[in-house]
């Protein structure tokens, strides 16, 4: 019998889609409306900082109007009740996992509600705009940028993520297209390290062949169903 103790969950834009936040690569997704090279690279920021700051100011404001959906709530419940190790690694830069109540969350691509001071390296919680070059609360300089990992930059906390993958019995990927590395490679790493792998998505992702099992449907339906199944034994991890 294959008992599960330690779980790593990777989430992507699809888990926030039912909260009304655009995904990146679906029809009408963000990267159809804006070119990555214009708004999501260090070069774009150096070339036209106002365009980039305005883009993220709009996104920062928009996500604060959104609410967690049933999938975020189900993962928060799992986090609260799961007795083993659990880590929600999210590629999302919204705070909907946290607002649903999840604690064990790692934002590998940064967070909209943080500003990063490139002068003193401090990160500060930030809910307002950056376009007017506000002062850094730590050093008083005016070199704040969105705390977002842009293309060409290194995702955050990779050592912690690989540490969790090494200990994982179960790796679950939710709402991500598997198009962006290194996150897209986690399923292969987890599987090679001995974890069971499960995909929960609206459609098959690019790395779908690496998963032992795929369940297709909207996250707001299939994530709560999976969590209920997992917690079925009142916190006693059942076999997968
Ligand atoms: P994508 O937009 O690439 O993929 C979203 C996935 O969610 C697709 O596979 C959809 O089929 C699926 N999906 C859409 N609606 C869903 C729903 N209601 N329920 C379940 N699944 C649904 O977004 P990500 O994979 O998160 O990086 O993109 C990865 C990274 O690329 C992002 O973090 C961002 C982006 O460029 C940076 O900005 C660094």
Cis peptide before 182 (omega within 30 of 0): yes
CB 47 within 8 A of CB 40: no
C-alpha span between 220 and 118 (Å, rounded): 38
pLDDT for residue 178 is more than 80: yes
Q: Ligand 1 centre and the CA of 119: distance in Å?
A: 32
Q: What is the distance between the alpha carbons of residues 37 and 80, in angstroms, rounded to a whole number?
A: 39
Q: What separation in Å is there between the alpha carbon of 68 and the centre of ligand 1?
A: 16
The total of other beta-carbon atoms located within 10 Å of residue 76's CB is 23
Closest listed residue to residue 214, CA positions, set 231, 230, 226, 229: 226
Does the pLDDT of residue 48 top 70, yes or no? yes
The tens digit of pLDDT for each residue in 102-157 reads 999 999 999 999 999 999 999 999 999 999 999 999 999 999 999 999 999 999 99
What pLDDT, on the 0 to 100 scale, is given for residue 235? 46
| Residues carrying an active site annotation | 109
Confidence of residue 2 (pLDDT cuts 50, 70, 90): low
CA 125 to chain centre: 18
- Site residues for ligand 1, CB cut-off 6 Å: 12-14, 17-18, 23-26, 29, 40, 91, 109, 149, 175-177, 179-180, 201-203, 205, 218-219
Higher-pLDDT residue of 35 and 235 is 35
pLDDT of 30 reads 87
Q: What pLDDT does residue 81 have?
A: 97
Examine the pLDDT at 168 and tell me if it is beyond 60: yes
Share of the chain above pLDDT 90, in %: 90
Question: pLDDT for 215-237, tens place per residue?
Answer: 999 999 999 999 999 998 544 54
Exposure b/e, 42-74, CB count within 10 A at least 16 = b: eebbeeeeeebbebbbebbeebeeeebbbbbbb
């Amino acid at each position: 019998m294959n008992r599960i103790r330690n779980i790593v969950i990777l989430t992507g834009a699809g888990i926030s889609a039912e909260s009304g936040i655009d995904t990146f690569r679906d029809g009408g997704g963000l990267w159809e409306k804006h070119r990555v090279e214009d708004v999501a690279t260090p070069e774009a920021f150096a070339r036209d900082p106002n365009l980039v700051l305005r883009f993220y100011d709009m996104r920062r404001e928009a996500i604060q109007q959104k609410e967690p959906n049933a999938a975020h709530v189900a993962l928060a419940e799992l986090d609260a009740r799961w007795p083993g190790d659990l880590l929600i690694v999210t590629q999302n830069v919204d705070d909907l996992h946290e607002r649903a109540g999840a604690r064990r969350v790692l934002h590998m691509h940064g967070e909209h509600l943080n500003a990063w001071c490139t002068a003193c390296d401090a990160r500060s919680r930030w809910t307002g705009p950056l376009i007017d070059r506000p002062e850094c609360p730590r050093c008083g300089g005016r070199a704040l940028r969105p705390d977002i990992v842009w293309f060409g930059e290194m995702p955050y906390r990779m050592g912690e993520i690989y540490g969790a993958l090494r200990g994982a019995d179960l790796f679950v990927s939710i709402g991500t297209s598997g198009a962006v590395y290194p996150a897209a490679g986690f399923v292969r790493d987890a599987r090679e390290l001995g974890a069971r792998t499960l995909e929960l998505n609206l459609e098959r992702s690019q790395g779908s062949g690496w998963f032992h099992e795929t369940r297709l449907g909207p996250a707001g339906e299939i994530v709560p169903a999976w969590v209920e199944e997992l917690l079925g034994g009142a916190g006693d991890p059942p076999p997968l």
